[in-house]
Structure 1
Amino acid sequence: MTQHGEQRTTVGHTWEPGRRRLAPVLALLLLAPWAAECSWGGFAGADMLLAVVVLAPMYGGAAVLIREAARRTGGGWPMIVLLAAGFGVFQAGLVDQALFNPEFLADTEFAELSAADGTRIPVLGFSAQEAVSFLGNHVALTICAPIAIVEAYLSPARRLGPWLRAPGLAAMAVLYLLGSLLIFADDSGRKGFLASPGQLIGASAVVLGLVVVAALPRWRRRMPPAPAVAPHPSRPGALVLVVYLGVSLLSGWFAVAAAVVAFAGLAAVLVRWSGRAGWGQGHVLACAAGALVGAAVLAYLVPPYAPASPAQALASDVLVSVLAVALLAGAYARLRRHGEWPRRR
């Protein structure tokens, strides 16, 4: 076991037949955009499928590439989280440039909220609250939760190995770049806005810094588990849920400060717990469930991007809840089948 509760894969990986090997890739390609933009109610039910298809190359491609990088190098979840943060900055700062564009949400149901945001930093040209929201949701929903859920459906022998060979990785990288270019070229999203050179350089520097930290050898070192026993998965899951909802329901500079403290505290607690004996995929799935359930609850409290009738909005929110519960219940059943869900002590 590593210090992050993951079994190391063997050096020689046995490749499975293409269809069986590509199934989790396709699942992650579709789950990442759904979790990123639909799980919290961003799109009404009728628009979900189109949103998933259009955004799959960008969101799904990034999730697959980040997962492959971490699993091939043995970087584990620390590397996934750091690369997810880098993706969040890259996406919001360089691709759709929502981080710097004050009019990005002007033609949506969030226009009033965006205009009333009082946490904009004039010198840097972005809202601190939006930065926390964009980055937190990309880390939790776009990348980490989808990877954790898809991997939970796989057997322990298949979970931590690579899914793609070199040609597949190259194709996925091209797919991701094309998907990102598509979003960047969509002027209806950027509304003609282009970030300043200083903003682009600053965002690029942050992305590069996160990638460099993610590549540090320390994430690949073997560490013996701590003598203490990891808690039942319900505890980290509940902690993630409370933090996600608590941060999402606050606003203003207090929300920014609370989010920074809460995320730092959450990371510290999860790192400590993950180093204990018995931490496994059940705990990882519980953390993903906390974020996804929090997003599904939030869907009932916020409007979708486009106007929708109360009946349409409610139907969409119920659909999100059903899909989230089905995904998590299926993953939980798979872990139980493999004997990976610990009993309560």
Structure 2
Amino acid sequence: MALLVLAPWAAECSWGGFTLQNVLPVVLILAPLYGGAAVVIREIARRTGGGWPAIILLAAAFGLFQAALVDQSLFNPRYLDDTEFADWAGAANATRVPVLGFSAEQAFDYIGNHVALSICAPIALVESFVGAQRRHRPWLGASGLAAVAVMYVLGSLLIFFDDSGRKSFTASPLQLLFAGSVVLTLVGAAILPRFRHRRTPATANAPRPLWIGMVVLVAHLASWLVTGWPAVAVRAAVVAVVATVIVIWSRRAGWGQRHVLAAGSAGLLVAAAQAYLVPNYAPASPTAALVGDVAVSVITLTLVGGAFWRLSRTPTPVRPT
């Protein structure tokens, strides 16, 4: 239940997208979509033994599925027209990919935010509060998993058939084929390969969790200073480097849930700080916007601080898979 509620809040509210009075309706309406996806992804990864590599790949598949096939924001040039982000959509046209008709910069934003905020941060937080003996085990039986999966499908259909969101836009067959092929590839990579289970003996100690968080923080901030295709190139390079560094560090002795939490919560902290700099989806008074942003800061710091406090009460770190 915590994951069902936390995922939609992290996805749509943690970066200041809504005023405080709109948070509860947003969370309740979007819980089947974001929360259902987060629960299903975690259950699949834990049942197959794929661990965090599988979670990240499935999160990317979900992000693309959501942006390309459900709300189709990735392909719809008018998707943000009636929001306070209309100017951002215009700037994104500088990185529009010919034929396929999507902005590479928006693809990084949409899919990257789904990976970091919609899926990874909520799972890392909730698993940190759960006892070590249950942290990496499935939480649902077959019937529970099926119920959540159905809930996710219904939530996706609700968004798809909401014409006020898609604005009567429908992606072309080529766009749907491209996106569907990439989604299936990501899902296949997440559930099929078994080489990820092979571990070599650790030859060094993992760095402190603070350094993990700082590295991920740099990845989130890397593209703030540039726009257009240079930003896309910088993001791709930074993601590749950071992913390599974290994979290497995660194989070292002493790697535990605190490191996972530091990596997962870094994006949430960046989003909470960014809330003071970005507008709400809909126009709001300065007071309402500020109250909402302060609430985001309080909730984020409480969740992250509480998770680290919870882990501090576990004397022996449990190595996550």
Matched with 1:79 is 54
Supply the distance in 1 between the matched residues of 2:225 and 2:286 (Cα, whole angstroms).
21
- The Cα of 1:339 is off from its aligned counterpart by 2.0
Structure 1: 4+ residue segments shifted above 4 A: none
Q: For structure 1, list consecutive stretches of 5 or more residues without a partner in the other structure.
A: 1-25
Write out per-residue CA displacement over residues 108-131 of structure 1, whole angstroms, 9 at most, x where no aligned residue. 000012123211123111011000
Q: Indicate the residue corresponding to 2:306 in structure 1.
A: 330
CA distance in 2, matches of 1:116, 1:290: 27
User: Within 2, Cα distance between the matches of 1:295 and 1:136?
Assistant: 12
Q: 1:341 to 1:160 in 2, by over 3 A?
A: closer
Equivalent of 1:213 in 185, 189, 210: 189
Return the letter of the residue paired with 2:36. G
SS of 2:194's equivalent in the other structure is helix
The structure 2 residue matched to 1:312, chosen from 288, 296, 305, is 288
Return the letter of the residue paired with 1:74: G
What is the one-letter code of the residue matched to 1:66?
I
The 2-side partners of 1:142 and 1:248 are apart by 21
- Which residue is 1:138 aligned to? 114
- Find out whether 1:164 has 2:135 as its counterpart: no
How far apart, CA to CA, are the structure 1 residues paired with 2:200 and 2:102?
Answer: 43
- Match 1:154 to one of 130, 146, 169: 130
Report whether the alignment pairs 1:173 with 2:153: no
Q: Report the secondary structure of 2:133's partner residue.
A: helix
The alpha carbon displacement at 1:224 in A equals: 3.3
Aligned positions, number = 317
Matched, 1:195 2:171: yes
Over the matched positions of the two proteins, sequence identity in percent amounts to 61
Q: Give the TM-score normalised by the residue count of structure 2.
A: 0.96
User: What corresponds to 2:73 in structure 1?
Assistant: 98
Once residues 201 and 162 of structure 1 are traced to their aligned partners in structure 2, the CA distance between those partners, rounded to angstroms, is 33
Return 5+ residue gaps in structure 2 as ranges. Answer: none
User: TM-score if structure 1 supplies the norm length?
Assistant: 0.89
1:230–1:274 Cα contact (<8 Å) kept:
yes
CA contact (8 A) 1:236 1:287 kept: yes
- Matched AA of 1:58: L
Counterpart CA distance in 1 for 2:277 and 2:98 is 30
RMSD of equivalent CA atoms: 1.3
Hey, what does 2:42 align to over in structure 1? 67
**SS at the partner of 2:204?**
strand
Is the CA contact 2:124–2:265 (under 8 Å) kept in the aligned structure 1?
Answer: no
8 Å contact 2:116–2:267 — kept in the other structure?
Answer: yes
Distance between the aligned counterparts of 1:189 and 1:75, measured in 2?
Answer: 35
Letter of the 2:178 partner, please give it: G
Q: Which amino acid aligns with 1:90?
A: F
Residue 193 of structure 1 aligns to which amino acid in structure 2?
Answer: F
| Residue identity in the other structure for 1:136 | G
Paired AA for residue 195 in structure 1: A
Matching of residues 255-334 of structure 1 within 5 Å: 255-334=231-310
Give the corresponding residue for 1:52. 27
Q: State the Cα distance separating 1:248 from its structure 2 match.
A: 4.7
Most deviating of 242-251 and 137-146: 242-251
The Cα shift of 1:219 comes to 5.0
